[in-house]
A = this chain, B = another copy of it.
Amino acid sequence: MTARSADPGRVRAYGDKWNDGVVQISFTLPLASSARATEAARQYVAAMGIREPYVALAEPIAPEFTFFVVYGRAAHEVDARAIAAEEVEAAALSRDEIDAEIALRFGRRLVVLGCALESDAHSVGIDAIFNPKGFSGDYGLERYANLDARNLGAQVPVETVVRIAREAAADAVLVSATVTQNEIHVRHLTDLVDMLEAEGLRDRITLVAGGPRIDHRLAKELGYDAGFGPGTTPSRVAAFVLEQASRRMQAPGDAPA
């Protein structure tokens, strides 16, 4: 008999045996440490559908707070085959291919703006996409022959972005959002979409968001064309911009799916 292997239709956590479903959960409950608090932790985890919850640690971290580390078995199953991971749909192209395609399809350089909005002073993310140096060996947009890439930096007011987008007739605006506490990023990202729409620019521009807490799904929800998370490389972004800009050229005026 060999070790039973996974059924992609019924995926479960692997601890040290197939489908044992072992998971580790940690959290703090606002209860003074006691057998009662430990039982509360067990019930809290049980309520998640975790079997055989075992409280490995019940540490009093303040008079009325206890930190717990709990192990147990999550009997839940995921059908990996059925998953349509929300992913940015754009072929992976090299810098040269992209430059070539732009020349071919547009016969001009595409104007791409980059920034972080309002109070967000984190520029390293947007710099990683724009600066020639790029990210993990992949050159930044400013190195692309056929991209007129302008990095506006961080802490740029929404109005400023919109003004420059109009003046420069930008093809794409790339926004970096890093500070997410109390959903502040949602606020700023939405403000930008609203103002672009108010100015009738939204449809003409490929709008992309990125940042450590951004993913494609969230960006779509906020009215962006795409969202990129941790580890994004510039070329993937450039390829997407090319893709979208082309669509817009074909169907001017109306936003693509």
- Given A65-B14, A213-B54: A36 touches B83 (CB 8 Å cut-off): yes
A169 within 8 Å of B (CB atoms) = no
Residues 46 to 95 of chain A near chain B (Cβ within 8 Å):
47-50, 54, 64-65, 74, 76-78, 80, 83, 85-87
Contact A30 B18 (CB under 8 A): yes
- Given A14-B65, A30-B6: A40 touches B80 (CB 8 Å cut-off): yes
Instruction: Give every chain B residue within 8 A of A37 (Cβ-Cβ).
Output: 80
Residue in chain B with minimal CB distance to A81: B36
A35 within 8 Å of B (CB atoms) = yes
**Interface code A83-126, partner B: CB below 8 Å = 1, 0 otherwise?**
10111000000000000000000000000000000000000000
Residue in chain B with minimal CB distance to A24: B26
- Given A30-B18, A39-B86: A13 touches B44 (CB 8 Å cut-off): yes
Count A interface residues, CB 8 Å: 45
Contact B47 A50 (CB under 8 A): no
CA distance A27 to B80 in the complex (A): 16
CA distance A26 to B65 in the complex (A): 22
Instruction: Give every chain B residue within 8 A of A18 (Cβ-Cβ).
Output: 30
Instruction: Give every chain B residue within 8 A of A28 (Cβ-Cβ).
Output: 13-15
Q: Closest Cβ of chain B: how far from A213's Cβ, in Å?
A: 7
The one of B39, B44, B86 that contacts A76, using a Cβ cutoff of 8 Å: B44
Q: Which 8 A-B pairs have the closest CB atoms?
A: A13-B27, A47-B76, A48-B48, A35-B85, A23-B27, A39-B85, A6-B30, A36-B85
Q: Which residues of A contact B (CB under 8 A)?
A: 5-6, 8, 11-15, 18, 22-31, 34-40, 43-44, 47-50, 54, 64-65, 74, 76-78, 80, 83, 85-87, 213
Some 25 contacts from A to B, beta carbons below 8 A apart, are A6-B30, A6-B64, A11-B29, A11-B30, A13-B27, A13-B28, A14-B30, A15-B27, A15-B28, A18-B30, A22-B27, A24-B25, A24-B27, A35-B87, A36-B83, A37-B80, A39-B85, A39-B86, A40-B80, A43-B78, A43-B83, A44-B78, A47-B77, A48-B48, A54-B213
